[in-house]
Amino acid sequence: MLDAAELKRLTSRLVELGEAPPGTEAEAELAALLAEGFERAGLAVEVQKFSCASWREESAALEVDGRALRAVAMPPSPAGYVEGEIAHVGAGRALSLEGIEGKVALVGMTREDPDFVAAQYARLAAAGASAVVFYDFAPERVRRVVVGIFASYSDGPGLPPPIPALAVSGEDGLRLARGRHYAQIEVEARYTESATSANVIAYGGGEAKVLLTAHYDKWLAGAADDAVGAALLQLLPKLLGELRGLAYVAFGAEEFGAPGYSAWYWAWGSRKFVEKLESSGELEGLVAVLNVDVPARRPLTVSASGPELREAARAVLGGSFDYELDSPYFDSFSFSSAGVPALTIHSLWRYVDLYHTDGDVPDAIDWEAAAQAGEAVARLARELTEKGRSFLRYEAWREELRTLLSRAARYLPPPAELVNLLERLRVEEGAARVLRRRALAAVCEGDPLEPGIPSCKAFPQFLVVEDLEAVESFIEGRAELAELARLKRRWTVGRVRELPAAALGYLTPFLSRAGPEGAREYLKRAKASLALWLERAYGETLELLSELAGDEARRG
């Protein structure tokens, strides 16, 4: 059993070292500390250094009507001095931008998605604001979240943020929203694209087939995100010392680091590690990657690279965890998108109130949850080292697609050839690697400048079925217009491509004016049009399964 008290002590030590942004001396100090801990445990340590972008706040000052307020700069805010009248533009997605030009915009963060600050920032900069001050939805907290002009969530470059951005507590923000106020803002910050971060790799005995991973860089206190994960990597060798074929990897530059102000600025260290394994030929030999990030509250969630690992983990860990497909928020996604089985054990969706805040301290963590995460990783590591790839439930891929085709068939029957190929499909690791790379994608809904929370989907071309079901529910009187307003554009992160989507949210004003009967008549026509997207979805899936069948025939 993991000692929760020892885990808290180790985590607290990492937190006491202070904020450790990617590419800084503080991050390097943490890396050295972790390397020393691995060496004391008798492991062979390797350090992979790599170039990264780095930003750190040197000072952030906000005075309002001559009184100083507590504030932090939002990375990678440019340095500069701004003064002007404060204009409260609202909170969340509903912003009032009229008359904001030349003023300091005051805006409330979005409770369900703190990262939505990037969309708010882009809209306010485009409207002519001279600076942005965000106020939090959680009490007595300041929060550091990355902002920018993110027009595309590819892995390519973006645009530098043009105006200073700060964050204040919710209480201070609500006070500033009342009456007229004058602000003076000064930010001193340093951004460079020639910084260095490092991945710390520790090897046990035998060839490393299973990786246990976490990241160690952090914004503000960073106890749950992810000092506790790094501390678990220090404790797990004591539990698993007898196992061969394990390696422990602490990633740098998870919170930030991709050069060129990229919209996909995070998980840079794990992506560089995947590149290293690809170039050395070691990636194909990996059996699985088990990552831990924000394991702070119960129930914990297992986010897995595909249905084969999700269902295998469920069979071992049982019903005290939630299960879903992998998320691009985590380092596991760097491996999933390269075809490697990977998962993250986390509680991110339950920790949003403290995510990236100065309140993410050791006393905020449920230490039984953190210990449960470590013990779950240990159980899965034992299964994977003992059984290898036979642990994975490959047949779950076929069940996943069979369920999707069954839902889609209500609107358009699938081609007989596709059904036959699916029934003959044999998924083993070679086919599963293709499916993870090509049939699993991180999907966003909304405009690229205003994305929702990305989530991984298997065979995302069939998401249009969800739109068809929503339209059908409205036509049959089982749903309100508000349900259709949620339907937006749909696209993938990384290898960016537009996915079929109803996007009826943009037509809500028209549908409202048309009245219930007029809206139903229009949506009947729209439903028939949307069903045609299924032909393309079937064709894309048929092409992939035909390729897999051909590969299988060539192998045997």
Per-residue pLDDT tens over the stretch 343-366: 999 999 999 999 999 999 999 999
For the chain, the domains span 56-189, 395-555
Per-residue pLDDT tens over the stretch 97-147: 999 999 999 999 999 899 999 999 999 999 999 999 999 998 899 999 999
- Say how many C-beta atoms besides its own lie within 10 A of residue 330's C-beta: 28
Which pLDDT score is estimated for 155?
A: 77
Res 524 pLDDT > 70: yes
Per-residue pLDDT tens over the stretch 191-228: 999 999 999 999 988 889 999 999 999 999 999 999 99
Q: Please give the structure tokens belonging to residue 260.
A: 């060129």
Overall fold of domain 56-189:
Glucose Oxidase; domain 1 (3.50.30)
Q: Quote the mean pLDDT of the chain.
A: 95
Res 553 pLDDT > 70: no
Res 280 pLDDT > 70: yes
pLDDT band at 556 (very low <50, low <70, confident <90, very high): low
Per-residue pLDDT tens over the stretch 64-86: 999 999 999 999 999 999 999 99
Which pLDDT score is estimated for 153?
A: 80
pLDDT band at 555 (very low <50, low <70, confident <90, very high): low
Please give the angle made by the CA atoms of 222, 376 and 235, to the nearest 5 degrees.
60
Res 92 pLDDT > 70: yes
Q: Transcribe 33-79 into DSSP letters.
A: HHHHHHHHTT-EEEEEEEEEEEEEEEEEEEEETTEEE--EEPTTPPP
Please give the angle made by the CA atoms of 154, 156 and 157, to the nearest 5 degrees.
120
Beta-carbon contacts of 211 under 8 Å, excluding residues fewer than 6 positions away, are: 246, 247, 248, 249, 286, 288, 289, 290
> Burial level of 153, CB count in 10 A (0-12/13-18/19+)?
buried
pTM of the model: 0.95
What distance in Å separates the CA atoms of residue 402 and residue 243, rounded to the nearest whole number?
37
Please give the angle made by the CA atoms of 26, 51 and 266, to the nearest 5 degrees.
75
Per-residue pLDDT tens over the stretch 18-76: 999 999 999 999 999 999 999 999 999 999 999 999 999 999 999 999 999 999 999 99
Task: Provide the sign of the torsion angle of the four alpha carbons 259, 263, 269, 272, taken in this order.
Answer: negative
Of 428-442, 453-467, 500-514, the least confident: 500-514
| One-letter identity of residue 19 | E
Q: Please give the structure tokens belonging to residue 406.
A: 């069954």
Average of per-residue pLDDT across 176-196: 97
Res 496 pLDDT > 90: no
Locus of tokens 């499916």 = 435
pLDDT band at 318 (very low <50, low <70, confident <90, very high): very high
What distance in Å separates the CA atoms of residue 286 and residue 211, rounded to the nearest whole number?
8
Closest CA to 272 of 287, 253, 293: 253
Which pLDDT score is estimated for 494?
A: 80
